[in-house]
Amino acid sequence: LSGVPGFPLPSTHTQQAYDPASDFTSRWTRADALQIKAHSDTTVAAGQNSIPAQLTMPSIPADFPQINPDVWVWDTWTLIDKHATQFSYNGWEVIFCLTADPNAGYTFDDRHVHARIGYFYRRAGIPASQRPVNGGWTYGGHLFADGASAKVFAGTTYTQQAEWSGSTRLLHTNGNRVSVFYTDLAFNRDANANNITPPVAVITQTIGLIHADFNHVWFTGFTRHTPLLQPDGVYYQTGQQNEFYSFRDPFTFEDPQHPGVNYMVFEGNTGGPRGVANCTEADLGYQPNDPHAETLQQVLDSGAYYQKANIGLAIAENSSLSKWKFLPPLISGNCVNDQTERPQMYVHNGKYYIFTISHRTTFAAGVDGPDGVYGFVGKGIRSDFQPMNYGSGLVMGNPTDLNTAAGTDYDPDPQQNPRAFQSYSHYIMPGGLVESFIDTVEGRRGGTLSPTVKLHISAAASAVDLTYGNGGLGGYGDISANRRVVDFLAF
Ligand code: FRU
């Protein structure tokens, strides 16, 4: 092990696989996350990029096109099977996006309590160079009828109700039944957007049918919405324990090592009440006698224990995927970061990668990293996961100056790189292609799809492919299927 002068070494992670049902939770430690700072350039001029080039998303031009002027989109996902293969349906590519109405009188930053899952489609098999610059997607509208997802909260008190991220699974690759797994949200807030009672997040399933003819794509069904999971307070923190808890973003898959068994990863927080100073030496993860190690007391005194992200695991208890049981979390980031969002399981060259998105502003005191996508690699779905790239976890961040205050997307620091919030909600697709949405570029707000970029992924390392597209940037919203379903009996 060799480290960066002045910084601690990363923790040792063997990548060893454990039984998915066992209670081994791997840790993204402070020693790991500090490798991001260790590899950040302290000599760049304020507002430049301090992140290594191969881990930086290329700069999105400020004159980006809009997918549709009448709909904001952010978190986006594809039509996948149990192995995350991406399907077109009867000649059409389909994407699912969180959407909100730009003409309804609220701002892009207030979109979350208005989020509805919408869908778009375009003809499959056309290269990006032959499509309109915005990707050429047609908006199909909301996926669920008005009021359908609210039925989960019937009889409870709420002021707003929303549909948050998830995934859409083609149940049989020779048919048209799809299962949507998403996060059903009910808020109970006062006029200042403070919680009267904590938000209620329910991981929910609904089943429908996809249809396509020669002109368009549409869906039927999605009338019954089945609540699947709410946090247990032991593995996964509840709203009662912390009104700012995270419990969302289900992604289901079958493990090639356990054929026929279905799992779900999701975003959670470590169980227990907010503010209890219970990080441990293991969460710090320093090598014995590392001269650059922090003491546990120093870390606790910094307040870092408010940040306790985890990546959860559940196992399906029936074949219709309507009954699930919690298993212990796969990864925790106690005293490291508070949000590991939209986790996905990505199997590549026999290795298991967990990719997840996170923010600079959710890092704990003393650790830092850009907004972007983070990755962990192991030999099975439950492993002693090794954080990718120098043991840090960072896979691809926005151009960011870690030497300068973060600011926010809604209130940028004028000294910060004007692309530090250019994109978010990255999702890794087959072949290492990555889609995301545009948040803010040079102060211009997005609410539209980013240019697709490409990663080379090899063992515990990755690099942005700068030969892909134009200097690394592919087409805007170029989200293509890599398999086709042809099911002309279904319409
Ligand atoms: C990521 C995210 C998801 C959540 C959604 C809410 O961008 O925070 O975790 O489902 O946005 O808008």
Residues in contact with 339: Cβ distance below 8 Å, sequence separation at least 6, in sequence order: 246, 267, 309, 358, 359, 362
CA of 489 to the centre of ligand 1 (A): 36
| Residue-level pLDDT at 125 | 95
User: CA-to-CA distance for 63 and 287, rounded, in angstroms?
Assistant: 47
Residues in contact with 298: Cβ distance below 8 Å, sequence separation at least 6, in sequence order: none
Indicate which atom in ligand 1 lies nearest the CA of residue 75: 7
Provide φ and ψ at 416, rounded to 5°. -80, 160
Confidence class for position 489, pLDDT limits 50, 70, 90: low
Tell me the pLDDT tens digit for each residue of 319-371: 999 999 999 999 999 999 999 999 999 999 999 999 999 999 999 999 999 99
Tell me the pLDDT tens digit for each residue of 266-307: 999 999 999 999 999 999 999 999 999 999 999 999 999 999
| Residue-level pLDDT at 300 | 98
| Residue-level pLDDT at 487 | 76
- Kind of pairing, strands 116-123 and 138-142? antiparallel
- The letter for the amino acid at 352 is Y
Q: Among candidates 311, 298, 413, which has minimal Cα distance to 361?
A: 413
Q: What number is the average pLDDT over the span 455-482?
A: 98
What residues does 221 pair with on adjacent strands?
208
Residues in contact with 354: Cβ distance below 8 Å, sequence separation at least 6, in sequence order: 265, 311, 330, 331, 343, 344, 345, 346, 375, 376, 378, 385
Indicate which atom in ligand 1 lies nearest the CA of residue 183: 10
Q: What number is the average pLDDT over the span 202-211?
A: 98
Ramachandran category for residue 54: left, alpha or beta (phi over 0 → left; psi -120 to 50 → alpha): alpha
pLDDT at residue 174 is higher than 90: no
CA 191 to chain centre: 29
ipTM at complex level:
0.89
Alpha-carbon Rg for the chain in angstroms: 21
Mutate to test the pocket of ligand 1, among 183, 265, 342 (most ligand atoms within 8 A of CB): 342
| Residue-level pLDDT at 485 | 84
Mean of per-residue pLDDT scores for the chain? 97
Confidence class for position 1, pLDDT limits 50, 70, 90: low
Active site residues: 75, 341
**DSSP, res 45:** P
Mutate to test the pocket of ligand 1, among 160, 165, 251, 440 (most ligand atoms within 8 A of CB): 165
Q: What number is the average pLDDT over the span 304-321?
A: 98
Under DSSP, is residue 141 helix (H, G, I), strand (E, B) or coil?
strand
Confidence class for position 491, pLDDT limits 50, 70, 90: very low
| Residue-level pLDDT at 393 | 98
Residue carrying the six token digits 């070494």 = 9
pLDDT at residue 236 is higher than 90: yes
> Percent of the chain, pLDDT > 90?
97
User: CA-to-CA distance for 359 and 288, rounded, in angstroms?
Assistant: 30
| Residue-level pLDDT at 167 | 98
Pocket of ligand 1 (CB under 6 A): 74-75, 98, 112, 115, 164-165, 183, 248-249, 267, 341-342, 424-425
Residues in contact with 132: Cβ distance below 8 Å, sequence separation at least 6, in sequence order: none
Ramachandran category for residue 125: left, alpha or beta (phi over 0 → left; psi -120 to 50 → alpha): left
pLDDT at residue 143 is higher than 90: yes
User: CA-to-CA distance for 83 and 347, rounded, in angstroms?
Assistant: 8
First-last CA distance in the chain: 59
User: CA-to-CA distance for 298 and 335, rounded, in angstroms?
Assistant: 12
Residues in contact with 144: Cβ distance below 8 Å, sequence separation at least 6, in sequence order: 116, 117, 163, 206, 222, 225
